[in-house]
Amino acid sequence: MHSLIPSSTIFRRAFTLLEMLVTISIIGVAAALVIPAFNDDARLRVMAASSVLTSDIELAQVLNISYPKDPVVVRFEPDQQRYWLAYADEPDTPLVRESNGQPYLVKFGVGRAITASDVTFTVDQMTDNTLAFNAQGGLTNYQTTPVIQLSRAGVGIELSIAPTTGTVKESAIAAGGGSPKK
């Protein structure tokens, strides 16, 4: 019987040791770069808290622009790590959500803020821990720039609210305060 393949042709049926080592090294480097992104839980939770809080501040602002006769405030209770939206004339009573009849009360790690568990916050430059907006969307107190600092496990975000426009600006900070990270 004659072979169709010349006897001088050599078949390679396995990888060399060098090829295996290079492949394993590449996989190891890729894993070293990707795995920390999956374990950066604190950063993701603080970002989630920032998103929820920013959207609630913007909702209060829009409600004030839309219904200036019924001003809405954002009231913070840092010692309980919660906040709520309320009418200005009843700041201690949270609004009721039309969608589900529940109070508009937010505690990180619960309900729609469940992804922000264990995130804590502090507030500064607010009268009675309350953000109050005027009919144009700016703050009623133009004298200060309110600041809310969110943190968890060494990661922090600072939200500052522009007094004239009510715009929320987000900056990364060292957890527990400190200057913004560049």
Where helices occur in 9-165 by DSSP H, the ranges are: 17-39, 41-66
CATH of 43-174, one of 3.55.40.10, 1.10.10.10, 3.40.50.1110, 3.40.50.1820: 3.55.40.10
For 72, half-sphere exposure in the C-beta direction (CA atoms, 13 angstrom radius) is: 21
* Most distant CA atoms of the chain, gap in Å: 101
41-56 burial code (b ≥16 CB/10 A, e <16): ebbbbbbbbbebbbeb
Sheet holding 72-77, edge to edge: 105-107, 82-87, 72-77, 130-132
Report CA dihedral (55, 147, 169, 105) to the nearest 10 degrees: 0
Distance CA 5, CA 85 (A): 81
Give the bridge partners for 158, in sequence order: 149, 171
* pLDDT at site 137: 92
pLDDT at 82: 95
The pLDDT value recorded for residue 149 is 96
Task: Please list the rounded mean pLDDT of every run of 10 residues in the chain (182 residues).
Answer: 58 74 83 64 92 95 94 95 96 92 94 92 94 94 94 93 95 65 42
* pLDDT at residue 28 in the model: 80
Return the domain boundaries, the chain: 43-174
Helix, strand, or coil (residue 159): strand
Q: What pLDDT, on the 0 to 100 scale, is given for residue 11?
A: 62
Q: Compute the distance between CA of residue 137 and CA of residue 150 in angstroms, rounded to an integer.
A: 23
**If DSSP codes are grouped into helix, strand and coil, which group holds residue 116?**
helix
pTM score of the predicted model: 0.75
pLDDT of residue 41: 84
- Of 14, 135, 124, 24, whose CA–CA distance to 72 is shortest? 135
Q: Report CA dihedral (127, 80, 86, 157) to the nearest 10 degrees.
A: 70
